[in-house]
Amino acid sequence: MGGGGKVPYPKHVWSPAGGWYSQPKNWKANTLVLGLAMVGITGLAWRFSAEHEYRDKMPEQGRFFPSRYWSKQIIEHDRKIKAEAEAAAAANSKPVEG
């Protein structure tokens, strides 16, 4: 009775990953390199996305909008709104000659 004999498996296995229960001596360096590569790829994707982001409708003024800090189009729009507001304030503060 029972399930039969043991399943034969080799005691010593070579593989590129290091075998059955590998713990390579340089695992910390490998982890660091892989982590830096992932951060770099994520950063490049983030930058590409921020540079190519396009909006038909701009976010409302004074409302929290995270991409307001990195989207080129929104930053330029906010600068334009601020310049227009400053120009309007300067025009209203001129003394009226009469």
CA-CA distance, 15 to 22, in Å (whole number)? 10
- Residue 7 pLDDT class (50, 70, 90 cuts): confident
User: Is the distance from CB of 53 to CB of 70 less than 8 angstroms?
Assistant: no
| Res 20: pLDDT | 65
| Res 21: pLDDT | 65
Burial 33-71 (b: 16+ CB within 10 A, else e): eeeeeeeeeeeeeeeeebeeeeeeeebeeeeeeeeeeeb
Q: Quick check: 6 pLDDT over 80?
A: no
Domain ranges of the chain: 27-54+65-92
- Using alpha carbons, select from 98, 94, 50 the residue that is nearest to residue 76: 50
Residue identified by tokens 């043991």 is 6
* Digit-coded pLDDT (tens) for 28-86: 999 999 999 999 999 999 999 988 888 888 888 888 888 888 888 888 998 999 999 99
